[in-house]
């Protein structure tokens, strides 16, 4: 199928509305637009350079957790949650009650990513894995009554308040199992010669068009990108997440997807997607460079703590994974008294390694703000 000859699908009359039935994607794909080749080459190179950092950054798993937290936060913000990055790394008890539902959605997303990546070490990417991930994402939050972990059995829609004024109506639920089965075949079909980045660009569009779940389709569809890249060996670790780019270009993101459905313009979507990979991989590389520089600086400062240097390093190791800590938590991590932990945290704050963010005398929270800022830029 040439991009230039692509027909996105057909509108099928249902009772009182028309749903969109997309063309299946498990086929050969080609294109004439040379711009796509240029972007594909640049995106592949940017991805390889980003992946190289996972080999040279010591204890890279610590920092991958913050990439995952950032992705969970950005992807959830696209769907309307209001949690900020510095709130996402706190405990629920440290937040105002009205912020806890949004915070819980972000935490579910973090857990969903971590468990999905762990599963990929044992099983290939599949609809079964996506359903499992969806069940974690939707647990105990606003979508818990929308059949977590199951493809939908009723009609959903995008935009508007009902089917009558919807911006887009995905396929009828009777089509979902076959369409998703066909999409899974496309991920693993070695008989068709399609570059992996083109394949996942098409797959993300197709997933969002099918909208197979009653809720959470945006987040699972964006997570699918990272899972695919890891599963196919383009990334050793899940270090590329496009939600930051999609959130900053939200109108363009939705417009690019709709242009495929309404105008058959898949070239525009693929170019938008490859541009997202290029920019995001470049930013990811700069983040890793910043991590290496910051870690070198923190190691030098820790060395100056003499006998307490080992405790400082142990605390930093915790903070690279979760960059907020209380004296109570620090005493548990270091196996020292509350008084000793509190004194160490105050000293680290005096040395500008950490920032105390509450202003309280008791229950103070020390924040590794310089580290978090690397993921906020």
pLDDT in tens, the chain (377 residues): 999 999 999 999 999 999 999 999 999 999 999 999 999 999 999 999 999 998 888 888 888 888 888 888 888 888 877 788 878 888 888 888 888 888 888 888 889 999 999 999 999 999 999 999 999 999 876 666 789 999 999 999 999 999 999 999 999 999 999 999 999 999 999 999 999 999 999 999 999 999 999 999 999 999 999 999 999 999 999 999 999 999 999 999 999 999 999 999 999 999 999 999 999 999 999 999 999 999 999 999 999 999 999 999 999 999 999 999 999 999 999 999 999 999 999 999 999 999 999 887 778 999 999 999 999 86
Give the model's pLDDT for residue 143.
65
Lookup: tokens for 274:
């490859």
**Alpha helix positions (H), 121-195:** 127-137, 176-188
| Angle (CA) 92 105 330, round 5° | 30
For residue 201, give the nearest of 209, 213, 211, 191 by alpha carbon: 209
- Is there a contact between 319 and 371 (Cβ–Cβ < 8 Å)? yes
Q: What is the DSSP letter of 23?
A: P
Give the model's pLDDT for residue 75.
85
Give the model's pLDDT for residue 88.
80
| pTM assigned to the model | 0.93
Helix (H, G, I), strand (E, B) or coil at 143: coil
Residues 232, 176: Cα–Cα separation, whole Å: 25
Helix (H, G, I), strand (E, B) or coil at 192: coil
| Long-range contacts (CB closer than 8 Å, 24 or more residues apart) made by 261-268 | 261/8, 261/9, 261/20, 261/22, 261/168, 261/209, 262/8, 264/6, 264/7, 264/8, 266/3, 266/6, 266/8, 266/202, 266/205, 267/3, 267/4, 267/31, 267/33, 267/36
Residues 134, 217: Cα–Cα separation, whole Å: 9
Residues 63, 200: Cα–Cα separation, whole Å: 25
Residues 303, 313: Cα–Cα separation, whole Å: 9
Cα 211 to Cα 8, 112, 136, 320, distances in angstroms:
15, 18, 18, 36
Give the model's pLDDT for residue 79.
80
Q: Which residues contact 127 (CB under 8 A, 6 or more apart)?
A: 180, 181, 183, 184
Domains present along the chain, CATH in parentheses: 3-287 (1.10.3290.10), 304-376 (1.10.10.10)
Give the model's pLDDT for residue 72.
83
Residues 279, 276: Cα–Cα separation, whole Å: 5
Residues 220, 72: Cα–Cα separation, whole Å: 11
Give the model's pLDDT for residue 142.
67
Helix (H, G, I), strand (E, B) or coil at 281: helix
Residues 155, 160: Cα–Cα separation, whole Å: 14
- Is there a contact between 209 and 175 (Cβ–Cβ < 8 Å)? no
Strand order in the sheet with 355-356: 324-326, 365-367, 355-356
Lookup: tokens for 166:
């919807």
Give the model's pLDDT for residue 73.
85
Neighbours of 186 (CB within 10 A): 18
Q: Which residues contact 210 (CB under 8 A, 6 or more apart)?
A: 22, 170, 171, 175, 176, 179, 180, 183
Residues 105, 90: Cα–Cα separation, whole Å: 14
Give the model's pLDDT for residue 104.
82
> How would you class 159 by CB atoms within 10 Å of its CB: exposed for 0-12, middle for 13-18, buried for 19 or more?
exposed
Residues 282, 359: Cα–Cα separation, whole Å: 37
Cα 323 to Cα 33, 72, 227, 371, distances in angstroms:
45, 16, 25, 8
Give the model's pLDDT for residue 199.
98
């Amino acid at each position: 199928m040439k991009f230039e000859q692509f027909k996105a699908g057909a509108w099928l009359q249902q009772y009182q509305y028309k749903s969109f039935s997309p063309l299946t994607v498990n086929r050969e794909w080609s294109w004439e637009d040379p711009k796509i080749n240029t972007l594909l080459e640049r995106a592949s190179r940017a991805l390889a350079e980003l992946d190289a950092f996972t080999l040279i950054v010591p204890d890279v798993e610590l920092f991958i957790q913050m990439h995952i937290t950032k992705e969970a936060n950005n992807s959830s913000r696209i769907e309307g949650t209001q949690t900020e990055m510095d709130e996402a790394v706190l405990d629920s008890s440290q937040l105002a009650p009205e912020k806890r539902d949004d915070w819980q959605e972000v935490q579910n997303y973090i857990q969903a990513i971590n468990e999905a990546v762990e599963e990929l070490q044992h099983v290939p990417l599949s609809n079964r894995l996506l359903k499992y991930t969806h069940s974690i994402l939707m647990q105990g939050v606003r979508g818990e009554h929308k059949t977590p972990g199951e493809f939908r059995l009723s009609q959903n829609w995008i935009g508007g308040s009902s089917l009558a004024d919807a911006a887009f109506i995905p396929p009828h639920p009777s089509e979902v199992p076959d369409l998703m089965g066909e999409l899974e075949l496309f991920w693993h079909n070695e008989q068709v010669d399609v570059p992996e980045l083109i394949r996942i660009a098409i797959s993300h569009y197709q997933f969002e068009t099918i909208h197979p779940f009653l809720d959470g389709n945006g987040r699972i569809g964006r997570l699918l990108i990272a899972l695919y890249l890891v599963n196919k060996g383009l990334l050793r670790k899940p270090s590329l997440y496009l939600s930051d780019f999609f959130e900053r270009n939200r109108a363009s993101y939705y417009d690019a997807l709709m242009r495929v459905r309404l105008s058959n313009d898949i070239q525009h979507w693929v170019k938008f997607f490859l541009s997202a990979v290029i920019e995001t991989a470049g930013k990811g590389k700069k983040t890793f460079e910043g991590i290496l520089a910051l870690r070198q600086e923190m190691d030098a400062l820790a060395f100056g703590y003499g006998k307490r240097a080992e405790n400082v390093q142990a605390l930093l190791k915790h903070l690279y994974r979760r960059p907020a800590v209380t004296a109570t938590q620090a005493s548990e991590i270091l196996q020292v008294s509350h008084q000793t932990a509190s004194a160490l945290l105050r000293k680290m704050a005096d040395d500008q390694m950490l920032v105390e963010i509450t202003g309280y005398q008791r229950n103070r929270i020390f924040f590794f703000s310089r580290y978090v800022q690397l993921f906020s830029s």
